[in-house]
Amino acid sequence: MKVRTRFAPSPTGFMHIGNLRTALYSYLYAKHNGGDFILRIEDTDRERYVDGAVEFIYSILKQAGIEHDEGPDKDGGCGPYVQSERKDIYLQYAKELIKKGGAYYCFCDKERLDSLADENGIKKYDKHCLNLSREEIEQKLSSGVPYVIRQNIPTEGMTEYTDMVYGTIRVPCEDMEDGVLIKSDGLPTYNFANVVDDHLMRITHVMRGTEYLSSTPKYNLMYDVFGWERPQYMHLPPIMKDAQHKLSKRYGDANFEDFIDKGFLPEAIVNYIALLGWAPKSNEEKMSLSELVDAFDVDGISHSPAIFDENKMKWLNGRYIRELSFEDFMKHAVKFFDSSVIKDKYDYNKFGKLLQGRIEIFSEIPSAVAFIEEFGEYDLSLFEHKKMKTDAKIAEVCLTEAIKIFEDIKDFNETEIHDRLVGRCEELGLKKGQMLFTVRVGLTGCASTPGGAVEMADILGKDESLRRLAFSLGLIKKHA
Ligand code: GLU
């Protein structure tokens, strides 16, 4: 049988990292096994619905490279793929379930339901309406009394299934409640819609968060009453912020879009989240989507919660950044240069060349270039470098020479700057490092910069470099 998995997000306007991981694992499992990956929109909770959220889901899956074979925009014969467009289907199946004894109409009003609360406020429905006669039901339905349809769960016995990740799950029937399948607005609850849809869409493997691990027995009872084959289940461990707290979309700490805005590359995010709860046999860490497809297996899925480590994702992102072509690097970097101090002042490409090997995420760019505009009074101890044997005195010699050299250069470019500065060292009895280090400090007022004296002078240009060197020389003389 062809493997068919699905991703069933609710259109809430967020794509939490945990949801994206579910999508990714479902996709990887399907593709590893030559199967299909289906996108279904679970929008029956109208209160959570956000306009434009469906387009948002497409856009994120696209950025992540997770391509669906079927979905609202790609009919594969199992549609509609949006739950709110399937309303009649659910009602029809709910009625069938009633006929088979797996569900019943419930007309209890809020007052009666509230009265069922125990001393802890927990309400467990008491199957009151299960005992209504056929005539009573007909009469209430025809006179328009509001109703819901509830699942009829056996009062005794045990349900059991084997989760592909967590093994055998057993739940006594008495621990389960006759939950609502069709709400009074005629729309199904998740508990019902997921069963009907997974069956009609011929889903063979269901992947979702562990929060559904213990309600799956209820779903299985419905499959059994319908006489449908149960799918296989893989419940996925939660993703935690730390040992105690789950990552939460409410705190905005784990949304795909936020990470993109922060300057992560989609392929690095996808790579990182693939490893959040799954490990390849090879222990390799940097893996492309197609390598993930090849390597993905259920054995590698962990039972224990995964801890989301943004630093690790940054590190991985840095590896991806370094492997980009310079052109692609700049495509991503431009907007961050635009919001930095170098906008309209210095050459983005020149800075880009210095930064590609140094940053881990693009949003580091503005702070990585800020130093260039922070030039002003600085502490002369910056010229002291033990290993390099430099201090303000040596700097005075170097800067005086550098000014002469710079004034003399006609075509102010990196090669000229380098060759002329280094060329003078021998005659002056200086080491190359002494010259380059002190000129860098003289140009920037910083002991460490991305790129050295030559790159800094080239970026600043002849006039600004001369102005800065003169300022620095003045500073040394003032404190001498
Ligand atoms: N709509 C559910 C959610 O977003 C999907 C759960 C499932 O995959 O079955 O949590």
Torsion of CA 12, 15, 17, 18, to 10 degrees: 40
Answer whether 152 contacts ligand 1 (Cβ < 6 A). no
Which residue has the CA at smallest separation from atom 4 of ligand 1? Answer: 9
Atom of ligand 1 nearest to the CA of 22: 8
Q: How far is the CA of 51 from the centre of ligand 1 (A)?
A: 19
Q: Exposed, middle or buried, 34 (CB in 10 Å: 0-12/13-18/19+)?
A: exposed
Are 122 and 186 in the same domain?
yes
Q: Which of 224, 49, 45, 222 is nearest to 149 (CA)?
A: 222
398 within domain boundaries: yes
Are 365 and 389 in the same domain?
no
Q: How far is the CA of 131 from the centre of ligand 1 (A)?
A: 33
Answer whether 42 contacts ligand 1 (Cβ < 6 A). yes
Are 201 and 110 in the same domain?
yes
Are 367 and 435 in the same domain?
no
Are 348 and 387 in the same domain?
no
36 within domain boundaries: no
Q: Exposed, middle or buried, 63 (CB in 10 Å: 0-12/13-18/19+)?
A: middle
Residue 458 sits in a domain whose CATH number is: 1.10.10.350
Atom of ligand 1 nearest to the CA of 6: 8
Total structural domains in the chain?
3
247 within domain boundaries: no
Are 426 and 351 in the same domain?
no
Answer whether 195 contacts ligand 1 (Cβ < 6 A). no
Choice among 100, 127, 140, 249 that is catalytic: 249
Atom of ligand 1 nearest to the CA of 19: 4
Answer whether 197 contacts ligand 1 (Cβ < 6 A). no
Answer whether 103 contacts ligand 1 (Cβ < 6 A). no
Q: Is the pTM value of this prediction over 0.85?
A: yes
Pick from 5, 12, 42 the residue to mutate for probing ligand 1's pocket: most ligand atoms within 8 Å of its CB.
Answer: 42
Residue 120 sits in a domain whose CATH number is: 3.40.50.620
Are 342 and 471 in the same domain?
no
Torsion of CA 60, 66, 70, 75, to 10 degrees: 50
Are 227 and 108 in the same domain?
yes
Answer whether 9 contacts ligand 1 (Cβ < 6 A). yes
Give catalytic status of residue 249 as yes or no: yes
List CB contacts of 178: < 8 A, sequence separation 6 or more: 104, 106, 125, 127, 130, 150, 151, 152, 153
Last residue of a domain, one of 356, 373, 390: 373
Q: Which of 130, 136, 151, 145 is nearest to 194 (CA)?
A: 151
Answer whether 390 contacts ligand 1 (Cβ < 6 A). no
281 within domain boundaries: no
Are 367 and 385 in the same domain?
no
Are 332 and 455 in the same domain?
no
3-state secondary structure of 2: coil
Atom of ligand 1 nearest to the CA of 198: 9
Answer whether 208 contacts ligand 1 (Cβ < 6 A). yes
Return per-residue pLDDT of the chain as tens, 480 residues: 999 999 999 998 888 899 999 999 999 999 999 999 999 999 987 777 778 889 999 999 999 999 999 999 999 999 999 999 999 999 999 999 999 999 999 999 999 999 988 888 888 899 999 999 999 999 999 999 999 999 999 999 999 999 999 999 999 999 999 999 999 999 999 999 999 999 999 999 999 999 999 999 999 999 999 999 999 999 999 999 887 888 776 655 678 988 999 999 999 999 999 999 999 999 889 999 999 999 999 999 999 999 999 999 999 999 999 999 999 999 999 999 999 999 999 999 999 999 999 999 999 999 999 999 999 999 999 999 999 899 999 999 999 999 999 999 999 999 999 999 999 999 999 999 999 999 999 999 999 999 999 999 999 999 999 999 999 999 999 987
Pick from 20, 26, 190 the residue to mutate for probing ligand 1's pocket: most ligand atoms within 8 Å of its CB.
Answer: 190
Which residue has the CA at smallest separation from atom 10 of ligand 1? Answer: 9
107 within domain boundaries: yes
Last residue of a domain, one of 220, 236, 252: 236
Q: How far is the CA of 107 from the centre of ligand 1 (A)?
A: 28
Are 219 and 106 in the same domain?
yes
Answer whether 182 contacts ligand 1 (Cβ < 6 A). no
Are 167 and 183 in the same domain?
yes
Pick from 6, 10, 49 the residue to mutate for probing ligand 1's pocket: most ligand atoms within 8 Å of its CB.
Answer: 10
Strand runs (DSSP E) across 269-317, as ranges? 306-307
Answer whether 10 contacts ligand 1 (Cβ < 6 A). yes
Q: Which domain holds residue 435?
A: 380-478
Q: How far is the CA of 471 from the centre of ligand 1 (A)?
A: 64
Q: How far is the CA of 9 from the centre of ligand 1 (A)?
A: 5
Q: Taking each helix axis from N to C terminus, what angle separates 326-338 and 348-355, rounded to the nearest 10 degrees?
A: 110
